[in-house]
Amino acid sequence: MKTKINLYIVFALLSLVSVSCSENFLEDKKSYGQYDDSFFQSQERVEWYINNMYYDYFFAYKGPTGALVGSYTDTYTKMTEELGGTQDLINPTKSFVNALDASGYFGTKPSTSMKNEPYSRIRECNEILGDLDIKGANLDKTFRDQIKGQVYYLRALQYYDLVRVYGGVPIVLTVQDASADDPTIKIPRAKTSEVFAQIVSDLDMAASLLPGTWPNAAANYGRFTKGAALAQKSRVLLTFASPLYNKNWDSSNERWNAALQAGLAAEAQLTADGYGLYGTTAKEWASMYSTFDNKFCKEAIVVNMMSTLTTGNFMSNGWEKGIRMVSQGGTSALEAPKEMIDLFPLADGRRPTAANGYNDFTFFLNRDPRFYRTFAFSGMTWPYKESGTATYKPVVWSYRWVDTANKAYFSDNNQENSPAYVRKMSDIAASNASNFQYSGTDLYEYRYAELLLNIAECYAALGQTSNTIAYLGKIRARVGIPSANNYGIGTLADKYAAIEACLYERRVELAYEGKRYWDIQRWMLYDNASLPGVSGGTVAKLGLTPINGTQRTGNFLQYKNTTSGSADPLASTRGAISVDPDAAAATFQTQLTALAAYYNANFVRTPLLTPLDNVNGQAVTIKFNPNYYIQGFNLATLTQNTWLPQTLGWNDASGGAGAYNFQD
C-alpha cells in the first residue's frame, strides 16, 4: 500500500527465489493450498504475506478518482458532475436489466490459480486469520495481533465494496475449496444488514488489535491504525443509515445515532493520536497532498504511498501526468464541466447565484479559496519544474481563435473543452523531465475532513442543525472562509436543509477524490423514483433537482474577433496577465480583476463542436435507471452459483425477474 511496503515485496521475492524454487513466495501465492505449516512460523514471511495483500488491494489505486478495491476504475466518477463523457449506466440510449449486462466485479469462475478478485482477496484474509495463531503460535503475540488487525480491516474493506455494488452477498469467513458437489460451500446470499453487521464486526476487531500509532512510525507509515478502523466504521455506518439501505431513514434515528457515535469515537481516537485538519489556509490545504510524500500527514487517515522509482514492483501516481496540460508536458488537461465550475461557493461561503453577484463568464472572481486550488484556468499560474530545474510559474492559456476561413487554432496546443481544468492534488514541484510519468504524490483514500463531514451529516439527519453548522464550520474555517452568517451557510430551516448542506460541502471539499458517486448512490439522487418495494423519493425532500435529465456542459474560451490566419492574436498582450493564488491577498484580488477585464475585452464563450455528453456526436442528457443503484449478479456468477437469487430489478439467468430486496 505504500512505497516501503512495495520495497518489502520486491526484496521478499528476491530473497525467496535465492533460497529454493519450492519456497518461492510467488509460486506459493499463485495457487490455492500451497502454504505448508512452516510458512506462518516465520515473522518475515508473514510480513511478506500482509505486504502483498496491501499490494493486491491497492495496486490499481493510482489516481484519486478511482473506486472499488482491486480495480479502482474512474467510471463511477464519470457518472457524476465532476467529469464529462457518457458512460453506459448514464446513457439514455441503453437500458440494462439482464444478468448478462450486470456488474462483473463479483469475480470469475474459480480455478487452480489465485486471481486478484474480491473473494480471492477475502480468501487470503481468511487464510491468515484462520492459521496465524495456530501455525504461528511461536510468533510474538503483539506481532500476530497487529497482523490480524490489518487483515480484519482489509476483509471489511472488501465486503464494504461488495455491499455497495450488490447489497447482500455470501459471507465467507473460512477458507473453502471450490467444488461442484460440496453442499457446505453453497453459502446463501446474506441480507444486506447481515453484511453490514459483519463489516462492523471486522472493523471492531481491527480497532481492538491495531495500535493508535505504529512503533517505528516512519517504517510503518501507511499501515492501518486503530483510528483508521474506527473512521472506516463511521463511513460504513453512515452508508447503512442512508436511504438506499435504510427505508426508515426519515422516521427512525437508530442507524443515524449508531453512525454518529462511531464518528465521534473515531474523532476522539484520531485526535488523541495526533490527527486532525491540516493547515489554516487554502494554500496549506492544497499543499498537504504533496508536501508529505511518504511521511506522516495529520489529515491522512488512510494513505496509498507512491514512488518516483521507474523500475521494479513500484506504484507511481498517474494523476499528475493525466491532468497536466500539453504545453506543460502532460497528457492533456482534465476539463471541468461548467456544472463543477459553477458549484463552488463565493468567498464568503454563500452559494454562487446571480442574486449573490455571481457571473459565470468571469467565474474566477470572488470564489471560495478552495476554488483556486481545485481548478486552473487561462491566465493563472500553475507551477512545475521544467526538466528538473528550479520550480517556475508559467501562466497557462487554453483559448481558441477562428480565421476568416473558419479554421480553428488553439493557444499553446492546449485544445481544451472547458475554460477551467482540474489541478487539485497537483504537485507544484513536479518535474516534466519524464512528462510527469513517475509522480510520488501519495493518495489520501480517507482524510480527516471526510470524517468531520460524516459526523456533520449524522447530526443533520438527527435534526441537530447547530451541531451540523459547527462541524461544517470547521471545514470552512480551515481554508479561510469568514465565520459571518455561519460561514456563509446561513440558517438551516430543518434537517432536510441540513442534509443538503452537508452533501453540498462534500461536493466541494472532497471534489475529485472518488467520493461523489457513492453520495449520489446512497441518497438516490439520480431520480425521484424508486424500484417497487424500495423506498425512495429523497431528491424532493432535500430540495434538489434530479441528476437525470441534466448534462455536463463544456465550452470553448474563444477570441471574440475573426483573425486572418494562424498567428495567436493575443501573443503580444497576454504576457501582462498573471493570476497567482500564492500572491498576497490584495495583489491576488488585483490580478483577478485585471484578468476579468482581459476576458471581457478579448473572449466569448462558445459551444463545443461535440458536446461533453454525447452519443455518436449528438448531445444527450443523463439517464440512470433505478435498478442500477444496486447491481444484479451477472450471468457467469448466477450460472456458477445457481442457489443465489437475483436482485430486484434485474433478470436472472433464465430471464425471470429477480426478487432479492436489498433493503430487507
Helices (H), 351-426: 371-374
- pLDDT of amino acid 528: 86
Contact predicate 224/231, CB 8 Å: no
Question: Does residue 268 fall inside a structural domain?
Answer: no
Question: Does residue 291 fall inside a structural domain?
Answer: no
Question: Does residue 382 fall inside a structural domain?
Answer: yes
- pLDDT of amino acid 258: 98
Instruction: Express each pLDDT in 419-460 by its tens digit.
Output: 999 999 999 888 888 778 888 889 999 999 999 999 999 999
- pLDDT of amino acid 2: 39
Whether the predicted pLDDT of 232 surpasses 90? yes
Number of H helices, E strands in the chain: 21, 14
Question: Does residue 394 fall inside a structural domain?
Answer: yes
Please name the residue that has the C-alpha cell 463489516. Answer: 199
- pLDDT of amino acid 7: 31
Return the closest-CA partner of residue 370 out of 276, 458, 289: 289
Question: Does residue 338 fall inside a structural domain?
Answer: yes
Average the pLDDT over 64-89 and give the result: 95
Whether the predicted pLDDT of 19 surpasses 60? no
Distance CA 441, CA 306 (A): 6
The residue with greater pLDDT, 291 or 535, is 291
Domain housing 431: 319-441+555-607
pLDDT band at 23 (very low <50, low <70, confident <90, very high): very low
Calculate what percentage of the chain has a pLDDT beyond 90.
Answer: 81
Instruction: Express each pLDDT in 92-146 by its tens digit.
Output: 999 999 999 999 999 987 766 678 999 999 999 999 999 999 999 999 999 999 9
Single-letter amino acid, residue 97: V
Average the pLDDT over 267-277 and give the result: 98
Question: Does residue 67 fall inside a structural domain?
Answer: no
- pLDDT of amino acid 388: 65
Strand 408-410 versus strand 391-392 pairing type: unpaired
Please tell me whether residue 400 adopts helix, strand or coil conformation: strand
pTM for the complete prediction?
A: 0.93
Distance CA 593, CA 590 (A): 5
- Structure letter (DSSP) for residue 628: G
Instruction: Express each pLDDT in 250-268 by its tens digit.
Output: 999 999 999 999 999 999 9
Please name the residue that has the C-alpha cell 480455478. Answer: 111
The residue with greater pLDDT, 464 or 307, is 464
Instruction: Express each pLDDT in 477-527 by its tens digit.
Output: 999 999 999 999 999 999 999 999 999 999 999 999 999 999 999 999 999
Question: Does residue 583 fall inside a structural domain?
Answer: yes
Count of beta carbons in the 10 Å neighbourhood of residue 251:
7
Helices (H), 357-494: 371-374, 448-461, 465-478, 484-487
- pLDDT of amino acid 37: 75
Number of domains in the chain: 1
Question: Does residue 46 fall inside a structural domain?
Answer: no
- pLDDT of amino acid 182: 78
Calculate what percentage of the chain has a pLDDT beyond 70.
Answer: 92
Contact predicate 92/618, CB 8 Å: no
Task: Dig out the grid coordinates for 69 from the structure.
Answer: 478495491
pLDDT band at 386 (very low <50, low <70, confident <90, very high): confident
- pLDDT of amino acid 592: 98
